[in-house]
Each structure stands twice: as structure tokens, then as C-alpha cells.
Chains A and B, each alone.
Chain A
Amino acid sequence: MSEIHSEEIISSNSLNNKNAVPAPQEGLLGGVHKKDGRLMIHTVHLKKSFGSLEVLKDINMDVMEGEVVVIIGPSGSGKSTFLRCLNRLESITSGEVTVDGQNVSDTHININKVRENIGMVFQHFNLFPHMSVIDNIMLAPVELKKMTKDEARAKGMTLLKRVGLDTKADVFPPQLSGGQKQRVAIARALAMNPDIMLFDEPTSALDPEMVGEVLEVMKELARDGMTMCVVTHEIGFAREVASRVVFMDAGYIVEEGAPEEVFGHPKQQRTKDFLDKVL
């Protein structure tokens, strides 16, 4: 209770009233995420096959706490599959995946516990259409006994305020625009207080005029120090927000580095070819 209360006070930097509050450092999570160099995601020789089709061939990647890793690449390159292996929405064929110290590739661990700590945002939002916006957000914290109903509601309202949708709490998802749906989906994922957020093409299904509002929320989340893995085609977002850009093709990581490196001076021909097409 007290935690929620104090969050409300420190961080009322909602998207709607940016100028009203003189505390520019505080973001979506009230500045609770520190960058202390903790290894959040660690994959070693990760492979994933669908039948005889090998989609991920050998992925080795580390993500440190507070990093924003943007994964780009042509469709079918395995970006989304990689993301989905991190919370084991896809089973892992071989190799090792460790997320926040938990060995996700070990089938004996309680994957539900691990997932509570990994928020995920989907291309098609996947809001629960039979529940109001606030119930969408409250479902997991209440069902998993992380919070009482009142706590979850308060937390949900705080999150909705921060994504600029507190007036939509009792609306049902089909009444929202795409951009609004995705912002609710982000709030829903944040309700479990995850340490990592995965974004699987979060703006690809949006009308162009709604892309900005979703990216704005993501930027604020990044500024606040959230560890993020983002699969996206938004090169502008990658340039501005990414601490690292990873280019994937045909199941491999072809190239990675700081955005100005990868976009400015790509070393691999395949990266150049791809960037020529999208830039």
C-alpha cells in the first residue's frame, strides 16, 4: 500500500501533464530501476526448430540490466521467435537461456514464476475483450495473489494515468483505438512489476498516426531504466532509444552494436543490404 502511495507522489509524470510536474527524472516506474550491471538475459547456443525448419541457429546474447536492445531484421529472420524463447512461449530446442538468474531452458523450473518477472507486449495487443480495461490490468496480480483487489486497482489506475488512459478504465477493449489498446497492454504487463519487458513488434499493427503515442510510452519506460528487448521496424525509435541494436538474419545474429555504429557504419554486407531497403 505504502509503496503504491509513494509512487503516486514521486512520479506523476504522466504523458498528459508533462509540464505540470517539475520532476522530469521520474518515469513510468517511479525511477525504481537502477542500472547496476546485473546480467538480465543470457543465452548460449540457443537453437529453435519448428519440425525440420531451424529458425534460430545459434544465438548468443547477453542483456544487462537497464539496457534497451532493439532487434531488427527481415521477416522470417527469427526475431520474434527469439523473443518468445526468452519467456518460453516457444519451447527451446537446445542451448541455454537464463533470465534474471533463472534457467528458462530447464523444463523443471516453474516457468510461471519466471514469467511474472517478464512483461510481454504483442503485435496484436491480445487484450482480453471480455474484461474492462482495469480488469485486464488487475487480472494477473489478483489471480496470482500478488496484490489485493484494492491494491491492484490502485496500481492499475496509476499505470493507466501514466499511459494517459485513466479515463478509459471501465471501457472494454473493442471500444479503444489500436494505439490505446497497445498502451493498455503495456500497462497490463507493467502491473506485475516485471524487471524485463519484451516488445514483439508493438507498433506493426497500428495505423501510422498511432505509432507515436505507443513509442512515447516505450521511450519513457526506457528512460526510467527498464530492461527492454524490442523487436521492431521503427528505425527512428532504435536510433533514439536503443543502447544496442542487434541485426538478425536467417536465424543468426549478424551484427550488433551501438545504434550509430550499426546504422552509420554497418560492417556486414547483409546488414547494409537490409538497411538500404528500410532506411
Chain B
Amino acid sequence: MGSILQVYWTLLLRSLGQTLLLTLLSLFFAFFIGLLFGLLNVSKNKALNIIGTVYVDGIRGVPLIVLAYFIYFGVPALVQAAGNSSFKLSALVAGTISLSMNAGAYMAEIFRAGIQSVDKGQMEAARSLGLPYGKAMRRVVLPQAIRTMIPAIISQFIISLKDTSILSVIGFPELTKAGNIIVGNTFAALQVWGIIALMYMVVIVTLSRLAKKLERKMNVGNTL
């Protein structure tokens, strides 16, 4: 185990960095995708509800690995067929799109639940003062909703971080991909996967500890 670490520590750390990069990028985009479709789903407009529902159900109904294949192989094939024969998506771009879309659908549900958890008197009071719907949402409802959403957002962060391992299938050089390469070279499956598992675990446990602290801080502000 010591020798594996000695030889491969740079690869392992670099891959962990890629895993975190992909997670952060995807969560960033997922936040806005979730906000958009969450807002569509709480709207009173039936047509907007349908758009929101189709997205959420559509994405949640497809396994991430299939979505990743579709984006990485399917979409370029489509563009190439349409005439742009040199079109390709990098694994990072395809991976970020796939994971953002996937996490975005779950985030949309988190946003919907968060917004609905805010007492509807808040929206009414804001509207009664003459604030338009969008302003009332942005200044009054969303700040309160996001507070209640923090635990769910963090758990989505952890899920997405683990889901990056699925994107090894499109050749994205993240931690699980690195594990595959190292096992291929050393045949030391037990040690390598043990190390990889430990690395995921350390990152995730650290993150969830931080999250708990943050959550407690926010709650203190809320109850006072």
C-alpha cells in the first residue's frame, strides 16, 4: 500500500481535484437549473408547470450513466450528422452537462419544496405592498426558502460528488477512473480500491461536518 501511494500519489490527488472540480461546476449550474425549474413548478401558470414537470420527470427517469452516454456520444453524433463533422465534446464538458442536468432536476424539487415551505402570508404581505411577483420572490420568499433548503442542498452535493464516479465511463479522469488505471497497472485491487474509498470518505465526511456547522449557524440566526 505504501509503494502504491509512493508511485501514484500525484495521480490520485490530481484525480481527486478533477472530481471536486466536476462536482463544484455541476452543482453551480444545477443551482440555477434547479432555481429555474423550481420556480416554473411553483408558478400558477399551468403551461410553465408542465415545462417544469416534464424536465424534472424526464431527467429523474433516466439513469445518469445513460444521460452521460447520450450527451457524450449521442449529441456529437447528432451535430456531426447535421454537417459539423469535427464536432466533439470533451469529457469535462459532457460530464458537467450531464451531472448539472441530473442534479438540476433534484435541485428543482428542493427549490419547490423550499419555496412551498415558506408561509404564504409572506408572499401576500410583499404583494400587498405593491411588490411585483418577481421582486417579492427574490427579496422575501427565496431568502427564507434557501435557509430551509441548506440541508437538502448539502445532501445533493454529496450525492453528486459520488455520482462523478459514474462519469469515469466517458473517460473523465476523476478518482474512480484513476483507480481503474492503477489497478490495471498493479493488480492490487484490494489496496487501490481501499485507498480510493477512503479518499471519497474523508472528503465527504469533512464536507458534511462543515455543512452541519453551517446549518447550525444559520438556524441560530433564524430562531433569534
CB-defined contacts of B143 to chain A, threshold 8 Å:
130
Residues 156-199 of A at the B interface (beta carbon under 8 Å): 172, 174-175, 185, 188-189, 192
* Contact pick for B128, options A120, A144, A174, CB 8 Å: A120
- Does A206 count as interface, using CB distance less than 8 angstroms? no
CB-defined contacts of A209 to chain B, threshold 8 Å:
none
A-facing mask of B105-147, CB < 8 A → 1, else 0? 0000000000000010110111111111001000110011001
**In the complex, which residue of chain A has the Cβ closest to the Cβ of B122?**
A126
- Does B223 count as interface, using CB distance less than 8 angstroms? yes
B-facing mask of A203-217, CB < 8 A → 1, else 0? 000000000000000
CB-defined contacts of B125 to chain A, threshold 8 Å:
120, 122, 126-128, 185
A117, A124, A185 — most chain B CB neighbours (10 Å): A124
B224 touches A175 (CB 8 A): yes
* Contact pick for A172, options B126, B132, B224, CB 8 Å: B224
- Does B222 count as interface, using CB distance less than 8 angstroms? yes
**A residues with CB within 8 A of B:** 87, 89, 112-113, 115-120, 122, 124, 126-130, 139-140, 143-144, 172, 174-175, 185, 188-189, 192
A-B pairs, 8 with minimum CB distance: A116-B130, A126-B125, A140-B129, A120-B128, A126-B121, A115-B130, A112-B130, A130-B143
In angstroms, Cα B144 to Cα A175, docked, is 17
A130 touches B128 (CB 8 A): no
A-facing mask of B211-224, CB < 8 A → 1, else 0? 00000000000111
A192 touches B121 (CB 8 A): no
A124 touches B128 (CB 8 A): no
In angstroms, Cα B139 to Cα A122, docked, is 19
B131 touches A89 (CB 8 A): no
CB-defined contacts of B144 to chain A, threshold 8 Å:
128-130
**B residues with CB within 8 A of A:** 119, 121-122, 124-132, 135, 139-140, 143-144, 147, 222-224
A126 touches B131 (CB 8 A): no
Given A130-B144, A139-B139, A175-B224, answer yes or no on A188-B129 (Cβ-Cβ < 8 Å).
yes
**In the complex, which residue of chain A has the Cβ closest to the Cβ of B132?**
A112
Q: List 27 A-B contacts (CB under 8 A).
A: A89-B124, A112-B127, A112-B131, A113-B130, A115-B128, A115-B130, A116-B129, A116-B130, A119-B129, A120-B128, A124-B121, A126-B122, A126-B124, A128-B126, A128-B140, A128-B144, A129-B144, A129-B222, A130-B144, A139-B131, A139-B140, A140-B129, A143-B131, A144-B129, A175-B224, A189-B129, A192-B129
CB-defined contacts of A87 to chain B, threshold 8 Å:
128
In angstroms, Cα B223 to Cα A78, docked, is 35
In angstroms, Cα B128 to Cα A119, docked, is 7
With contacts A139-B129, A140-B129 known, what are 20 further pairs, Cβ within 8 A? A89-B124, A89-B127, A112-B130, A112-B131, A115-B129, A117-B130, A120-B125, A122-B121, A122-B125, A124-B119, A127-B125, A128-B122, A128-B140, A139-B126, A139-B139, A139-B140, A140-B131, A143-B131, A174-B223, A192-B129
In angstroms, Cα B131 to Cα A113, docked, is 9
